[in-house]
C-alpha cells in the first residue's frame, strides 16, 4: 500500500485520475486502525487492479488530515478524480466487512 503524506498527497490522491483512490487514515495510537490494516492490505490484493490503495499516518500529517476534514480514527475515504466520493467515519466501521462493502461500490 502506498504511504501518502503532505509531500505526495496532491500528486498521488488529488491529481490522480486513472482509477479511484482509497485512503486509509490511521494513527500511531489508534489500535483499531492497526488491527484493520492487515485486512486492508488483503483488500488491496483483491481489488488493487481497479482501485489504488493508500494509507496516511495522521500522527505525522495532522494538518493534512484536518484539511481533509478527518478528525477521528479510523476514517476511510474514497476519492474519485481528486474529489471525495465516499467517507467512512469511525462509527461506520465496525469490521473490515464495512470497508469492503464501500470499496466494492467503486470497482
Partner 1 sequence: MPKIYDILIIGGGPAGLSAGLYASRSRLSVLVIEKGKFGGQATTTAELENYPGSIENCTGPALTERMKKQAEDFGTEFVKDEVQSVDFSGDIKVVNCLRETYQGKAVIIATGANPKPGGFKNEQNLRGKGVSYCAVCDADFFEGLDVAVVGGGDSAITEAIYLTKFAETVTVIHRRDALRAVKSLQEKAFKNPKIKFIWNSTVEEAKGDEILESLVLKNKITGELSELPVNGVFVFVGLIPITEVFEGKVTLDDKGYIPTDEEMRTNVPGVFAAGDVRVKTLRQVITASADGAIAATAAEKYINEKFNK
* Site residues (vs partner 1, CB under 8 A): 27-33, 35, 39, 58-59, 62, 65-66, 69-73, 75, 89-91, 94-97
Distance CA 90, CA 93 (A): 5
DSSP assignments along 63-101, one per residue: HHHHHTT--SSSEEEEEETTEEEEEE-GGG-SSHHHHHH
Task: Give the active site residue among 30, 36, 65, 99.
Answer: 30
Contacts 24+ apart (CB under 8 A), 61-70: 61/5, 61/6, 61/9, 63/6, 64/5, 64/6, 64/9, 65/25, 68/25, 70/25
30 is catalytic: yes
Q: State in angstroms the smallest separation of the CB of 66 from partner 1.
A: 6
Q: State in angstroms the smallest separation of the CB of 103 from partner 1.
A: 15
Q: Of 23 and 30, which CB lies nearer to partner 1 in the complex structure?
A: 30
Q: Of 17 and 97, which CB lies nearer to partner 1 in the complex structure?
A: 97
54 is catalytic: no
Task: Give the active site residue among 33, 51, 93, 99.
Answer: 33
Q: Of 18 and 91, which CB lies nearer to partner 1 in the complex structure?
A: 91
- Residues serving a catalytic function are 30, 33
Amino acid at each position: 500500500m502506498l504511504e501518502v503524506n503532505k509531500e505526495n498527497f496532491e500528486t498521488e490522491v488529488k491529481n490522480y485520475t486513472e482509477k479511484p483512490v482509497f485512503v486509509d487514515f490511521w494513527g500511531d495510537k489508534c489500535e483499531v486502525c492497526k488491527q484493520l490494516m492487515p485486512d486492508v492490505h488483503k483488500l488491496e490484493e483483491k481489488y488493487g487492479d481497479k482501485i489504488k490503495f493508500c494509507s496516511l499516518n495522521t500522527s505525522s500529517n495532522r494538518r493534512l488530515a484536518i484539511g481533509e476534514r478527518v478528525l477521528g480514527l479510523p476514517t476511510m475515504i474514497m476519492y474519485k478524480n481528486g474529489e471525495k466520493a465516499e467517507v467512512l467515519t469511525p462509527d461506520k466501521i465496525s469490521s473490515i466487512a464495512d470497508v469492503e462493502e464501500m470499496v466494492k461500490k467503486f470497482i
